[in-house]
Structure 1
Amino acid sequence: MKKIIIAALLIAANLSVLAQKPIEKGLQSISEQSAKASINFLASDELEGREAGSRGGRVAGEYIVSMLRMMNLSPLGDSYYQPFEACHNQVAQKGKWQVHPDSIAQLKKGVYKHLQLNNILAKIEGKRTDEYVIVGAHYDHLGIDPTLAGDCIYNGADDNASGVSAVLQLAKAFLASGQQPERTIIFAFWDGEEKGLLGSSYFVQNCSFINSVKGYLNYDMIGRNSNEAKPQLVDYFYTEANAAFGEWLKNDIKKYKLKLEPIYHPWDKPVGGSDNGSFAKAGVPIIWYHTNAHPDYHQPSDHASRINWEKVVEITKASFLNLWNLANEKSY
C-alpha cells in the first residue's frame, strides 16, 4: 500500500510539472544559487577587476562562453566571440577610445594606443528569423590600480557581474521553458563599456539587421540598495513611446507577486549611462534595469559579499517576463 501511495504521489508531481506553462517553467529555473555562482566567480580577486583588454577580462569572457556552451546555446555567428579593435590617442587625457573604422584610420596616422576586445553573442532562433530582440550586459570593469593603498582590485560585483548573471539566467530560463520564441533572441555580453560603451557601439555600427531589432533590454548594476530603508527599489527606464513596457512590469509584479518597488522612468531619448544608449541612438526601443549608485560604485569595495541576492533574483525574474513579451508579443 505504501509503495502505491508513493508511486501515486510521484505521478501527481510529474503531472504537475507537465501542466506548468512554459513561462512558469522559465521562472522556476531562475535561482539565487545560479546568481551567486556567476557573480562570485566574476568578482573574485583572481579576475583582477576584468579591465577590458586585460588577462582578467579575457578569463571573464572565456567563463561566459563556457556557460553558453554548457547550455548548448548557438553562437550568433560562426563563433561566440565578436572581436573588434579600439584605438586611442597617445595622450591619455586627450580624446576617447574609438571603434569606428574612420576614427581608427585617422588615429593610426600618428602614435596611438590599441586594444583588442571581444563582445560575446549567442542566440535562440525564433520562428520569425527576420525579427530580433536583444538582452545585454557589459562584463568588463576597472581592473587594478597598483598605486592604491590596501585593496587595489576593482572587483565590480554589482558593476556589472550582477548584470552578466541575469543575462545567463535568462538564456537558461528560455531554454527551460521549452517554447521557441516568435522572434530571435540575442544574448549579448559587451566588452569595453567602462571605456566608453565600446562593445555595444561596435555592435550597433556593424549590425546589418539593426532596423529589425524590436527591443533591447539592458542590465547595469542590479544588485545593491541605493536606499537601505527600501531594499526592493529599482529604477526602471524605458522608451516613453512604448508605454506597454511600463504596463508589462506593473502587471507582472502583481500577477507573480514579485518583491520589487520600481521607480518608472519613461524617457523620450534613453541614451545616457550605459549600453542602452548605443541602441537608443539607433532608434531601438529599450528597457534598462538599474539599482542606482551606492558608496561602493567604482570602488575596490564593490564585493560580492555586499550584493542583495533577493533583489538580483527578483529583477531577473521581472526582466525574464519583459523579454518574454519582447520576444512574443505581436506588437508593442
Structure 2
Amino acid sequence: MHKNIFAILFFTFCILSVQAQTPVDKGLQQINKNNAEAVISFLASDELQGREAGTRNGSIAGMYLASCFKEIGLQPLNGAYLHPFAAWQPAGKARSGWESHPDSLPAIQSKGIYRSLPLRNVLGVIPGTRTDEFVVVGAHYDHLGIDELIKGDGIFNGADDNASGVSAVLQIAKAFKASGSKPLRTVIFALWDGEEKGLLGSKYFTATFPQIKNVKSYLNFDMIGRNNNEAKPQHVVFFYTAANKAFEQWLRADVAKYKLRLQPDYRAWDNPVGGSDNGSFAKAGIPILWYHTDGHPDYHQPTDEPSRLNWDKLVEITKAAYLNAWNMANVEQY
C-alpha cells in the first residue's frame, strides 16, 4: 500500500514538474551537441568540397538545409524554402566584386559582357500573432570551395566558418517549434548564400524583402565554435547595436539565470555595418546582435575541420542566442 502511495505521489510530482515548465524552457532542452554535430559533420564534409557559392556543391548544401527546415516544421517563406537570385560582375581581367542588389545590374550590363552567378538563400518562417512585425535569425552557409593547386588537402571545409553558425540557426528553429508557443512577432530563419563573395545573400534579402522596414531586429552568427585563446575556452564576442541596451541586459540576465558557461565580451557598436551579414541589416537601419568567437589560425584555411571545434562552447552560445531570439520575438517593446 505504501509503495502504491509513493508511486502515485512520484507520478504526480513528475506531471506537475512538466506542467511547470515554461515554453522557453521546453525549447532550451532541445539544444544539444548531437544536433550540432549532425549538421556540421555534413556541411563540412569533404564530399561537399567547401560548398562554394554558385557551385553544384553549394546547391546541394542549400537543398539539404531546405529539407532540415521542412523536417523541423518551419513554413516556407512566401511558398518556398529556396529563394534563387543572381549576382553579377563585369567580365575581364580587372574584375570588380560581385553585386546582388537588383539596381546594380543595369550599370554592369552597360559595360558590356558580364558574368552571372546563380545563388539561393534558404528561408523558413514561424508566424507570429503580429503578422506585420518580424525578427530574423541568420547565418551564411557558403564557404570557399576547393583549391586544386594546393598540394595535399585543398578543401576548405568551413566547419567553424560557418557550419557552426548554421547549426545554431537550425537548433534555435527547432527549439522555437518545441516550445509549443506562438511568438508575438513572426520569426524568419535565414541561411544566406554568397557571404564569402560579398554578403550577397543578405544584401539581396534586405534590398528585396517587401516588409524590410517591419523587421525589428536581426541575430547573426559567424564562427561560433573555436577558441581564440585556449586559456579562455568560454570567451565569446557579443556585438550589438549600441542604441539597443536591452540586448546586453538580456544576455547578462540569461547567463546568470541559466548558469551558461560563457564569458561574453560585450561590444556595443554605434553602426555595426562591417564584418558579416549583420552589415546588410545595419545598413537598412535594423538593430543587430552578432555572436563571434574571434579569429584563429584555421580561419579561411583547409584546416577548418569539425575535429577542431569546441562543441561545449558552441552549444552554450546556441542556448544563449536562443534566449536572445525568444526575447526578440516576444518582448513587447525594446
* CA deviation vs aligned residue, 1:52-73 (integer Å, no higher than 9, x gap): 0111111111111111111121
Q: Which amino acid aligns with 2:250?
A: W
Report the TM-score, using the length of structure 2 for normalisation. Answer: 0.96
Counterpart CA distance in 1 for 2:307 and 2:274 is 29
User: What residue in structure 2 maps to residue 99 of structure 1?
Assistant: 100
Among residues 231, 245, 248, which one is paired with 2:233 in the alignment? Answer: 231
Equivalent position SS for 1:166: helix
User: What residue in structure 1 maps to residue 85 of structure 2?
Assistant: 84
Among residues 254, 257, 275, which one is paired with 1:273 in the alignment? Answer: 275
Counterpart CA distance in 2 for 1:35 and 1:10 is 33
User: What residue in structure 2 maps to residue 22 of structure 1?
Assistant: 23
Report the TM-score, using the length of structure 1 for normalisation. Answer: 0.97
Among residues 245, 253, 256, which one is paired with 1:254 in the alignment? Answer: 256
How much has 1:210 moved relative to structure 2?
A: 1.0
> Which 5+ residue runs of structure 1 have no aligned equivalent?
none
Counterpart CA distance in 2 for 1:44 and 1:263 is 31
How much has 1:6 moved relative to structure 2?
A: 5.3
User: What residue in structure 1 maps to residue 202 of structure 2?
Assistant: 200
Counterpart CA distance in 2 for 1:6 and 1:228 is 48
How much has 1:235 moved relative to structure 2?
A: 0.5
User: What residue in structure 2 maps to residue 300 of structure 1?
Assistant: 302
Taking the TM superposition and a 5 Å limit, the aligned residue runs for 1:87-236 are: 87-91=88-92, 93-109=94-110, 110-236=112-238
Counterpart CA distance in 1 for 2:11 and 2:171 is 28
Identity of aligned residues (%): 60
Equivalent position SS for 2:50: helix
Counterpart CA distance in 1 for 2:197 and 2:228 is 24
The question of whether the paired residues in 1 share the 8 Å contact of 2:220 and 2:290 is answered with: yes
Counterpart CA distance in 1 for 2:241 and 2:154 is 38
> Which 5+ residue runs of structure 2 have no aligned equivalent?
none
User: What residue in structure 2 maps to residue 35 of structure 1?
Assistant: 36
User: What residue in structure 2 maps to residue 283 of structure 1?
Assistant: 285
Counterpart CA distance in 1 for 2:300 and 2:11 is 50
Q: Which amino acid aligns with 1:142?
A: L
How much has 1:105 moved relative to structure 2?
A: 2.5
Taking the TM superposition and a 5 Å limit, the aligned residue runs for 1:307-326 are: 307-326=309-328
| Residue 56 to residue 228, structure 1, CA distance change in 2 (3 Å) | same
* CA deviation vs aligned residue, 1:139-181 (integer Å, no higher than 9, x gap): 0000001001110100000000000000000000011111111
The farther-off stretch of 189-198 and 63-72 is 63-72
Number of equivalent positions: 332
Tell me if 1:329 matches 2:331: yes
* CA deviation vs aligned residue, 1:223-254 (integer Å, no higher than 9, x gap): 00111110100010000000111111111101
* CA deviation vs aligned residue, 1:61-99 (integer Å, no higher than 9, x gap): 111111111112101111111110111121355211011
The farther-off stretch of 100-109 and 132-141 is 100-109
Equivalent position SS for 2:216: strand
* CA deviation vs aligned residue, 1:188-233 (integer Å, no higher than 9, x gap): 0000000000000000000111111100000000000111110100
* CA deviation vs aligned residue, 1:2-51 (integer Å, no higher than 9, x gap): 67755654553343222201111111110111001001110000111010
Equivalent position SS for 1:15: helix
Counterpart CA distance in 2 for 1:224 and 1:259 is 14
